[in-house]
Amino acid sequence: MWILLIEDEARLAGSIRRGLEEEGYRVDVASDAEAGEERALENAYDAFVVDWRLPRGDGKTLVERIRAAGKDQPVLMLTALSDVEHRVAGLDAGADDYLPKPFAFEELVARLRALLRRPPLSDQERTVTVGPLTLDGERRKVTMVGPKGEAVLNLRPKEYAMLEVFMRSADAVLSRTVLAERVWGDALFVTDNALDVTVSGLRQRLADAEKTSGAEEAPGIETIRGVGYRLVPGAE
């Protein structure tokens, strides 16, 4: 596995690099946002580890630019900023997970392994359709079509990831543990509240799109008490 580490603190970058190489990873290091973006776009890395605070830019903007360029490999963001607002902003920018500084190296490796266990989009069908709902994996765009026209769902990254899991497992009942593992990479790092908020937000986005498009039998998320959730037509 080939990792790009974008971190300006030389001692920390060196420590992470040595540790990952001992774990069997190949590691490149960039010390600022511009160099990181250049390397990210030129090479086929398996994952990115990105610090929030970087010279010549910042990690959040860098992740946005990487995603805009079509790179869908996992991104683990490192941040010394402890407030929830900054963490949410990083996830909304396209990061898959975050790790607050200071951290134990063992946790970084565990989170990275969890992210790398997810099947790459290139191994899956790019477009998935469930009733009037279509997910375009290449453009990371979800639309719902009905008599009133097409509605584009404005999804946060975790909402998008969760909807993709549901759509690729349509009608299947997915437990909370399975959802946590497939959306966040590892159930160990997901709180019940984070999962509940994501499910609730996704439900609202689907309801808004159904209202805008006028779609009939629009898919919704059904709760199967004591078991989990599933995506079914017309669910409330």
According to the model, what pLDDT value does residue 49 have? 97
Q: What are the tens digits of pLDDT across the range 171-186? A: 789 999 889 888 876 6
Residues with Cβ within 8 Å of 55's Cβ and at least 6 positions away in sequence, in order, are 8, 31, 32, 33
For residues 109 and 19, the answer to whether their CB atoms sit within 8 Å is: yes
CATH superfamily name and code, 2-116: Response regulator (3.40.50.2300)
Instruction: Establish how many alpha carbons lie within 13 A of residue 69's alpha carbon, considering only the half-sphere containing its beta carbon.
Output: 16
Q: What are the tens digits of pLDDT across the range 1-17? A: 899 999 999 999 999 99
CATH number of 122-233: 1.10.10.10
- The backbone region for 228, taken as left when phi is positive above 0, alpha when psi lies in -120 to 50, beta otherwise, is left
| Closest to 184 in 3D by CA, of 101, 118, 137 | 118
Q: Percent of the chain at pLDDT above 70?
A: 91
According to the model, what pLDDT value does residue 120 have? 55
Q: How big is the chain, counted in residues?
A: 236
Radius of gyration of the chain (CA): 19
Give yes or no on whether 2-116 and 122-233 have one common fold.
no
- Domain residue extents for the chain: 2-116, 122-233
One-letter amino acid of 110: A
Residues of the chain with pLDDT under 70: 81-87, 118-125, 185-187, 189, 235-236
According to the model, what pLDDT value does residue 5 have? 97
| Full-model pTM | 0.58
According to the model, what pLDDT value does residue 71 have? 85
DSSP type of residue 188: G
Cβ-count burial of 191 within 10 angstroms (0-12 exposed, 13-18 middle, 19+ buried)? exposed
User: Which H helix or E strand runs over 186?
Assistant: none
